[in-house]
Amino acid sequence: MQFTKMHGLGNDFILINQLEKKISNPEQLAQKMCDRHFGVGADGLVLVLPAKKDEADFRMRIFNPDGSEPEMCGNAIRCFTKYLYERGLTEQTKIKVETLAGVIIPELIIENNKVEAVKVDMGQPRLKSQEIPMAGSEQEQVVKQPLEVDGQEYEMTAVSMGNPHCVIFVDQVDEFPVSEVGPLIEEHPLFPAKTNVEFIEVVNSGELKMRVWERGAGVTLACGTGACASTVAAILNGLTDREVVVHLLGGDLLIEWAEDNNRVYMVGPAEEVFVGEWKEQLIV
């Protein structure tokens, strides 16, 4: 079984073409292949599948290293789109991709016949507490809400980009104990489906510095949906402009929340690392 290793700002993935074949147990395969000591090593396993919906061109499924399946991943969909185009699976530069978060529309930015970046229409952010989802009372927006974790109180803003995000603004994100606080918030009872956690330092009105604890994956170098959710959260809190550069450990993403509040756009790179063959056959 051939696989391709790719990354978006260091957020790395194993991509497998499943347009004609079928993996019987992707959850188990993800746990094995994503292991950085005994497998290939990655933040997730991405399957390239035929679309089920008429309005989509392809379908993307992604599995975390623990075998769980998130609704969407912004860095993965950029890799997914570049993979389709460069493998000759599509000639389109604007592709409709079916995900568990709905149909997402990435667009390739091509210069000198080379994919330089991918712009993704991430859709409309979901702000109601039930849509995130969160337990308890129904709220139109969850902004500056107190959250107690291990005896410490934080101020959070919650956003869904098809997957849940809890955004916390801090003074100095480089010194914040992300790996300690992140998992406690991820599994907080307020979030019945668990949550991704973003810790954000506001640099200025056009820049954010972000560290992330991803649900099911832990600390990663970048998170595309997290950068989108954090930008939305910063705007809701009156901290930034509508277009923001988000600085992550793996590099930068350009995020824009349109003036009509209907669409969030993400622009960032995707890179292929290598192609390999997985010997253990888990295909039926």
Sorted by where each starts, the structural domains of the chain and their CATH numbers stand as 2-122+269-277 (3.10.310.10), 129-262 (3.10.310.10)
**Is 73 annotated as catalytic?**
yes
Active-site residue identified among 34, 79, 166, 223: 223
- Kindly report, residue by residue over 40-64, the tens digit of the pLDDT: 999 999 999 999 999 999 999 999 9
Active-site residue identified among 34, 73, 79, 228: 73
pTM: 0.92
Segment 17-33 shows an average pLDDT of 93
**Is 79 annotated as catalytic?**
no
- What tokens were used for 206? 């056009």
d(CA 153, CA 225): 25
- Kindly report, residue by residue over 161-190, the tens digit of the pLDDT: 999 999 999 999 999 999 999 999 999 999
Report pLDDT for 283. Answer: 47
Residue 136 CB-density burial (10 A; 0-12 exposed, 13-18 middle, 19+ buried) = exposed
Report pLDDT for 144. Answer: 97
- Kindly report, residue by residue over 209-244, the tens digit of the pLDDT: 999 999 999 999 999 999 999 999 999 999 999 999
